[in-house]
Each structure stands twice: as structure tokens, then as C-alpha cells.
Structure 1
Amino acid sequence: MSQHDFAAVILAAGKGTRMKSDLHKVLHPIAGRPMLKHLMASVEALGPKKQVVVVGAGRDQVESAVGDAADTCLQEPQLGTGHAVQQAQERLSGFSGDVLVLYGDVPFVRGETMQAMLDRLHEADAPKVVVLGFEPDDALAYGRVIADDAGRIAKMVEFKDASEDERTCRLCNSGLMAARAEDMFALLDRVGNDNAQGEYYLPDIVNIAIADGDICAAVTARDPGEVAGINSRGELAAAEALWQAEQREHWMAEGVTLRAPDTVFFSWDTHLGRDVTVDPNVVFGPGVTVADGAHIKSFSHIEGASVGEKAQVGPYARLRPGAVMAKDSFVGNFVEMKNAHLGEGAKASHLTYLGDAEVGARANIGAGTITCNYDGYFKYRTEIGEGAFIGSNSALIAPVRIGRDAIVAAGSTVSRDVADGDLRMVRGEQIVKPGWADRFHDAMRKKKAAKKG
């Protein structure tokens, strides 16, 4: 938690044309969560007094996504990053703490990095502005931050304006900054737009402060990847890959076995217990919890589900939202669960659909069983008691209750409740006509031969 009050201003007004998408750039998901929400969650963990998101193009989408989690303000027209931050001034009226400026398309800035920027503002030399720098493997055409060993900035310079000596500097400008609110907006009032684009640039506040004789300082990001911006589908894919790689390492360090780590994909809120084993080619969608000792087998897709202790899933299983598997339960290949609870030790080994169902402990669901839960207008529940046995290729037409230790014979279509301990068999009468098939084949062969002749 910050020892000083701070507000975060997140810039999200750009059009993001390189995405070629009707969805706003900052709402494109990484690990099932909009990139903007990744950033806002990191900010929230530091306890800000306010978050302000600056919107512009696609404002309705962004405002809807932000909801009550932050204030928004409109930048229209869009006249540069300095102009964007100025639009937040009214939302921060009366606020006298620190202002942290972030970018909605730079979603993975660590909380520790943000905290380091805020802390640097309050060191003994009291810098007017703190800049987040980074040291990429290839500095390319990034603007340079010329600073001493203590991080005090002598100059910030765009690559095109830098001397050959300045271009050898590896510390680059990420664009993220922090300043006290009164300093931030006072300096922005002095930023001009005498440049080719006619825009007001946020980094200009640093050179203005330095020209005044004030100190500005740089903090260096631990990992250049955390300040990588996302402006295209390719960069989005690279960010997803980076996030997934970090999560794989995290969960293996927490005691999870990943048989083929590169083939397992997590969501932003996936939680796995100790001694969980995940086989190759497994996808976790949002809202999944897996308890200790569970085994997720290959080609399974799990979303919005809870997998109990030592439960087994798959291979080729699908758990949809509302699926709950208790301890030691099992679903096998080509089993789908949705809004269904599978009791302790219960199993559905293959080729089964359990929708809107409650399955008791130790029940056995035979292959090809389906719960018929939807009549085209409403959903209905199926209840299967403890120890019940549902024979293969059965259709359970909800609403229906199968009692404790009851048996439903294979091939049955059950539309009425089955009492505890009863057997229910629903089959048409079997008719046998001896020799009929042989006579049919003989007649048809003769007819075919006659037609050829």
C-alpha cells in the first residue's frame, strides 16, 4: 500500500486503428480479461484514492467496461498525451496527492514498479516528475532518458533529435510518469504544441521542469516486457504468449505438474491446488478452481467450473459454467457438464451430457446418457440420487428425480420420477420374425439380378 495518497490516470482515448477491429483496443482480452482490466487490477491493489480513465474513440465501449470501478473523462479532440492527461484535471479537483499516468494498452506494469515511481517522488531530492524508463535488448528508435547513476534526469530526447553519443544510452522512455497533482497540471499548462503534429506531449513536462532548475528522476522497470505496448494483433498475441509463459512457470513453482507446459492455457483467474496434474492440450477459461490432487487429462476445456480434490477430468471433456465436481468424482472422454453437480465418487465415464443436474455420491452415469433439460423455452433440473445406476443410452427428461440406489435400464427414456431402490425400464416391445431377414435378402438379390438382365 502506498504511504501517500495517489490517483491513477489511465489513457485510453486512442482509436487503435492497427487492430482493425470494432472492439476498442484496450478491451481486447489477454487470458480472457480485457487488457485495461489487467492494468486497473494492478492499480487497485495499491489502494488508489481515484482511478480516472480518459476515453475518446469508442467511449461507450470503454465506459461500459469500466463501470463503477473508475471515473471517466472525454478527450475530444485528441491532441496528444499531455492534452489527454489535462482532461482528467476536473475529475481530480481538490485532490492534492500524487498522480500516476498509465496507458490502457500497456497492461502489465507491475504493482511494485508503480510503487517504486511513487516512492521516488518522496525521496530527499523531491523530484518534480518521475519517469519510468526501461532497457530493451534493442533500443531501436525509442526516446532516450539521459540520467546519472542516481536516476536524476539531465535530458529527455527523441531518437530523431539525439546525438550519436545520446543514442548509445540504453535507458528508454516508456511514457509512464508520476508527479504531485499540483506539479503535474501546472507543468501541463506550460506545454506547447509547436511540433509537426500540433499536439501536446506529456514528456515535455520533464524538460520544462529541468529548465526551471528542478530535479526530475527516472525509475527503471525490472523487465522491459512490462512496459510493452499493444497496438496490433501480432503484439496482442505476443502479450498473450508472455502472460501464459509466466503463468506456467508460476503454477509449476506452486506444485502443479504440467506434462507439456507450452500446450496448456490459463485464464486470468485460474486457480490450481497442490499436486494437480495437467496433461497436454488443456484450456482453462475464466472462473476455474481445481483442488489438490486433481488430474486434468488431455484435450479438456474447462470454464466457470470447480474441480474437487482428486477428481479426474477427461480426456476430451468439457466443463461449462456451473459445473461442480466433488472429491474423487470422474468425468471421462466426451462428457459435457453445465450447471451440474457431480457428487463425491460419482462418475460419468464417457459420451454423456449432464446439464442442470444434481448427481449424488457414488452414482454411475452410463455411456450415451443425456439429461434433457430444455424444452425450447425453459430449463429444468434432473436429480439423481446417491448410488443410482443409469444404464447406457438413457434419456432423462427433466424435471425428473431418480431415487437413491435406483437403476435405470439401458436404452430407457425416463419422463417420470423413479423411487429409491426401484428399477425403471422403458423400452418398446421386441419383435422377432425368424428367417425374415434371409427371405428379404434373397428376394432383393433376385430383383437386382433381373433388373441387370
Structure 2
Amino acid sequence: MATALILLAAGQGTRMNSDLPKVLHKVAGAPLLHHAMAAGAALAPERVVVVAGHGAEAVAKAALSYDDTVAVVRQEEQLGTGHAVQQALPALEGFEGTVIVLYGDTPFIQAETLDAMLVTGADVTVLGFEAAEPGRYGRLIAHDGALDRILEFKDATEEERAIRLCNSGVIAVEARLLAQLVAGLTNDNAAGEYYLTDIVAAARAMGRTARVVTCDEAETMGVNTRTELARAEAAFQARARAEALDNGVTLSAPETVFFALDTWVGRDAIIGQNVVFGPGVTVESGAEILPFCHLEGCHISRGARVGPFARLRPGAELAEEVHVGNFVEVKNAILDEGVKVGHLTYLGDAHVGEHTNIGAGTVTCNYDGVMKHRTEIGAHAFIGSDTMLVAPVRVGAGALTASGSVITQDVPDGALALGRAKQETKPGLAIKLFEKLRQQKARRAEGGK
């Protein structure tokens, strides 16, 4: 069945008290918009249209960063959801199939729920939920799954407001019928807006069928305030942790681990407490992430061990059995099989060959203030503690750098490189110097009284 998506993302979100468009606020390291797009992407839609309004350029950039095939259209005036869909329809010209309307600030609709909306056999299908506290949600007037109409809270009577079956806003309609129904919308209501929800009553008046598919209320969580954003983050993390545990991942302290939208962790991986995953992290089966690590844009292979207190930045690639220890930072660097980087080291813009040992305090000096430069280290090399590798530079296979060296020239395979200043020793001078300093300190203390 051919499907297309319309994602409504034009609202300003004034209750967020922010200059940022509401749909660009982040949950699990990704804009709310990306969550909605991810849910819809599971349907493999033929077309996706994002309707932007407030902060349209930023919204378009975010949408295209997730899927560069989407069409982005503008709703210059925010005149309601029906008006927003009107702006999207030209981008669906020629499409034959079902259109699902989603919302950029409703991040948790599940793919299974959308699948269920596609197989009701009705001309119009609306996603509803039983609300614990219906509040100001629109109410669904339905009998045995057949939907008569949707009432906005503002237009409902007290009796109608007592109904607990509420409207999520998500709707599925055949494309040509949607265009016909939207064209007939009016703004004769309390808010003076064109409500997409009015198409249900219009469809029924035409003799068309409408049905309700229900889901858990948690799926329909919308984000309109900072408080709701925090709740959405908590809801996502709770679900991600449960899924990780179900998939065979060990979480030593689940409530302290934070996942991103696209985090992938393999079975039998072990994740310690207080680990934070930024976007773009893959951890293969059997790897171990020790406590207090921050990972982003990196790949960690089977049997690798990271942390504690390590930071992996975008472009970090760890092969099998690599060990990255405490207070090590890796950025845009490839570490081949069996590399050991024990502690207190920065590796940026580098490639380290297999089974090489990187001593404590090593730094790849990769930035000259304008450009980044690369460091290449061969297999089975030994980089002594406190080595400064001034890129661009190459250290050959099996080579050795002496502790405290500044390496500014290439080191051939199997060579020893020393780059230290000559040490001078002055017998007895330390005693004289300390005595002089103590006298100066005593005079200063005396003068301060």
C-alpha cells in the first residue's frame, strides 16, 4: 500500500519560552521533528512533506539533515491544521495512496500503531486514546469504533467534555479524498481556524466511513512546555533502557544511562553507570563501556573496553580488543585491533596501527590554529609517556618514542626517536633556592601584618 506523510511543524511554541522552533527542541539528542520522522520512516513512505512556519529555514535544515528527499513547504500564516495540510497538498500532486498526517511535536507514535491505521478499511482513520485526564484535548464521538465526528474542546458541551476518548491529531486519509475534504474546510469555530479534524464530519456527510484506532496515551504525548520536554526525555530513556535490557545488554545502573535516538548496542555488551550516548554511536556485542563515559559519533567493536571517564567524539573508530582508559579523548581517529591507550591522552585526527601502546599524557598536536593535520602511527609501536606528536607526522611500525619527547619529524619503522632538551643538574641548588623562597614568603607575611 502506497503511503505518504505530512508532518506539521509550523508552530512557534510560545509556551516553550524560546527563540528556537518548538520541533527543534531535543529529546535523546535529536530534535522532536526527527523522532516523528523516524516513526513515519518505518512505513517506507513514497513521499514526505514537512510543513514549516516559525523558523522555517532552521526547520527545513533539520528535516533535510534527517532525510534529504523530503519536501519542505511553508505555512506563512498559522491558520490551523487544516490550512497547514492545504499548503502540503501541492507537493503530493500525482500521489495515489494513503496520506498520514503526523505532528513534529509528538515524538512517540509507534510504527505498529501507524500500520494499524492503514488496514482499517475506512475512508478516514483517526488515532485516539483514552486519557486519564482529558483536559483540553479534542473529543472523539464514536460508537463501536465507528467515528461520527471530532469536537474541539472549545466547541464541546459539558456533557461532551466528559468523554474520555480523545483525539491525537494523527489521521490517515486517501490522498484524493483528503484534497477534496480539505478544500471544503471553513473557519466557523471559536478559534477562527481551519481544523483538520472537521474532515471527519465532512466525510460522514458524504457517506464515507470513518474509524478510530486507539493506542496507549503515552504514545500521543505532545511537547508544548519545558516541563513536557523533560517528561518526554524521561519517557524516552525509560523505554530505551527497557529495550536494551530486553535485547541482552547489561546495564549496571539503568537509571543513570542515557541513550540517543539512534544509539545501537549489541547483545552481551556491558554498560556501566553514568554513561551518556550522544547521537551516532554503535557498540558491538561483547564490548564494555565503564562508568562515566561520554560517547558521540563513534563505533566500538566487539571486545573493546572503554573508560572509565573516557570521551569518544565523532569519527572515533575502535577495532576489536582496543582498550581506551580513563581520561582519554579520541576524535576522528582509527584505533586498530589491540591498541592500548591507558590514560590521560588525546588522540585526534590519527590512525594507530594494531597492538600499539600509547603512553600516558600523549597528545597528537593536530591543530595549527587554521587547519587540522593527521598523525599516522604504525603497528606494534610504543609511544612513550608525555610524547607530543606534532602533526603532520608519521611514526613507523615497531618504532619507539622516548618519554617526554616532542616528535616533529617522521620516525622510520623500528627506530627510536628522542626529542628532549638536555638535562642539567646543579648540586645543592635546590636547598639554597627553597631557603631563599621561604625567606621571601616570611618577609611578605610580616609586611602584611
Equivalent residue number for residue 79 of structure 1? 79
Cα distance in 2, alignment partners of residues 352 and 448 from structure 1: 37
Deviation per residue, 1:274-308 (Å, 9 max, x gap): 21111111111111111221111111111111112
Q: Once the 2 structures are TM-superposed, how far is the Cα of residue 63 of structure 1 from its aligned partner?
A: 2.2
Equivalent residue number for residue 244 of structure 1? 237
Equivalent residue number for residue 142 of structure 1? 137
Cα distance in 2, alignment partners of residues 12 and 193 from structure 1: 20
> 2:70 is matched by which residue type in structure 1?
A
SS at structure 1 position matched to 2:94: coil
Cα distance in 2, alignment partners of residues 239 and 87 from structure 1: 29
Deviation per residue, 1:300-330 (Å, 9 max, x gap): 1111111121111111111111111121111
Q: Once the 2 structures are TM-superposed, how far is the Cα of residue 400 of structure 1 from its aligned partner?
A: 2.0
> 2:261 is matched by which residue type in structure 1?
W
SS at structure 2 position matched to 1:69: coil
Task: Indicate yes or no: 2:274 matched with 1:277.
Answer: no
Task: Indicate yes or no: 2:149 matched with 1:152.
Answer: no
Distance 1:76 1:408, change over 3 A: closer
Equivalent residue number for residue 39 of structure 2? 42
Instruction: Out of 394-403 and 204-213, give the one that drifted further.
Output: 204-213
Q: Once the 2 structures are TM-superposed, how far is the Cα of residue 172 of structure 1 from its aligned partner?
A: 0.8
SS at structure 2 position matched to 1:210: helix
Cα distance in 2, alignment partners of residues 65 and 326 from structure 1: 31
Q: Once the 2 structures are TM-superposed, how far is the Cα of residue 168 of structure 1 from its aligned partner?
A: 4.2
Distance 1:145 1:406, change over 3 A: same
Deviation per residue, 1:20-77 (Å, 9 max, x gap): 2222211222222222222223223213232222222222222223334322333232
SS at structure 2 position matched to 1:90: helix
> 1:180 is matched by which residue type in structure 2?
E
Cα distance in 2, alignment partners of residues 307 and 437 from structure 1: 49
Equivalent residue number for residue 89 of structure 1? 89
> 1:80 is matched by which residue type in structure 2?
G
CA contact (8 A) 2:99 2:173 kept: yes
SS at structure 2 position matched to 1:145: strand
Equivalent residue number for residue 249 of structure 2? 256
Equivalent residue number for residue 22 of structure 1? 19
Equivalent residue number for residue 70 of structure 2? 70
Cα distance in 1, alignment partners of residues 221 and 330 from structure 2: 39
Task: Indicate yes or no: 2:128 matched with 1:133.
Answer: yes
Distance 1:73 1:405, change over 3 A: closer
Equivalent residue number for residue 407 of structure 1? 400
- Among candidates 179, 182, 185, match of residue 185 of structure 1: 179
Equivalent residue number for residue 98 of structure 1? 98
Distance 1:51 1:443, change over 3 A: closer
Equivalent residue number for residue 427 of structure 1? 420
Task: Indicate yes or no: 2:297 matched with 1:308.
Answer: no
SS at structure 1 position matched to 2:321: coil
Q: Once the 2 structures are TM-superposed, how far is the Cα of residue 415 of structure 1 from its aligned partner?
A: 1.4
Cα distance in 2, alignment partners of residues 95 and 432 from structure 1: 84
Task: Indicate yes or no: 2:310 matched with 1:317.
Answer: yes
Q: Once the 2 structures are TM-superposed, how far is the Cα of residue 410 of structure 1 from its aligned partner?
A: 1.2
Distance 1:362 1:450, change over 3 A: closer
5 Å-filtered alignment, 1:157-176, equals: 157-159=151-153, 162=156, 166-176=160-170
> 1:241 is matched by which residue type in structure 2?
A
- Among candidates 348, 351, 368, match of residue 341 of structure 2: 348
Task: Indicate yes or no: 2:2 matched with 1:9.
Answer: no
CA contact (8 A) 2:127 2:171 kept: yes
TM-score by length of 2: 0.92
Cα distance in 1, alignment partners of residues 136 and 443 from structure 2: 85
SS at structure 1 position matched to 2:308: coil
Cα distance in 1, alignment partners of residues 262 and 439 from structure 2: 69
Q: Once the 2 structures are TM-superposed, how far is the Cα of residue 15 of structure 1 from its aligned partner?
A: 1.6
CA contact (8 A) 2:323 2:341 kept: yes
Cα distance in 2, alignment partners of residues 42 and 449 from structure 1: 71
TM-score by length of 1: 0.91
Q: Once the 2 structures are TM-superposed, how far is the Cα of residue 189 of structure 1 from its aligned partner?
A: 3.1
> 2:98 is matched by which residue type in structure 1?
D
5 Å-filtered alignment, 1:351-370, equals: 351-370=344-363
Cα distance in 2, alignment partners of residues 343 and 170 from structure 1: 58
Deviation per residue, 1:151-209 (Å, 9 max, x gap): 01244334455556544432111122122223223223333222232211111222233
- Among candidates 371, 374, 378, match of residue 367 of structure 2: 374
Cα distance in 1, alignment partners of residues 217 and 313 from structure 2: 37
Cα distance in 2, alignment partners of residues 372 and 32 from structure 1: 30
Unaligned runs of 5+ in 2: none
Distance 1:401 1:191, change over 3 A: closer
Cα distance in 1, alignment partners of residues 76 and 398 from structure 2: 68
Q: Once the 2 structures are TM-superposed, how far is the Cα of residue 337 of structure 1 from its aligned partner?
A: 0.8
Cα distance in 1, alignment partners of residues 419 and 329 from structure 2: 24
> 2:77 is matched by which residue type in structure 1?
P
Equivalent residue number for residue 192 of structure 2? 198
Q: Once the 2 structures are TM-superposed, how far is the Cα of residue 414 of structure 1 from its aligned partner?
A: 1.5
Task: Indicate yes or no: 2:109 matched with 1:109.
Answer: yes
Distance 1:434 1:138, change over 3 A: same
SS at structure 2 position matched to 1:82: helix
Cα distance in 2, alignment partners of residues 189 and 424 from structure 1: 77
Equivalent residue number for residue 210 of structure 1? 204
CA contact (8 A) 2:404 2:420 kept: yes
Distance 1:441 1:236, change over 3 A: closer
Equivalent residue number for residue 261 of structure 2? 268
> 2:95 is matched by which residue type in structure 1?
F
Cα distance in 2, alignment partners of residues 442 and 130 from structure 1: 88
Cα distance in 2, alignment partners of residues 350 and 249 from structure 1: 32
Deviation per residue, 1:251-288 (Å, 9 max, x gap): 11111111111111111221112211111111111111
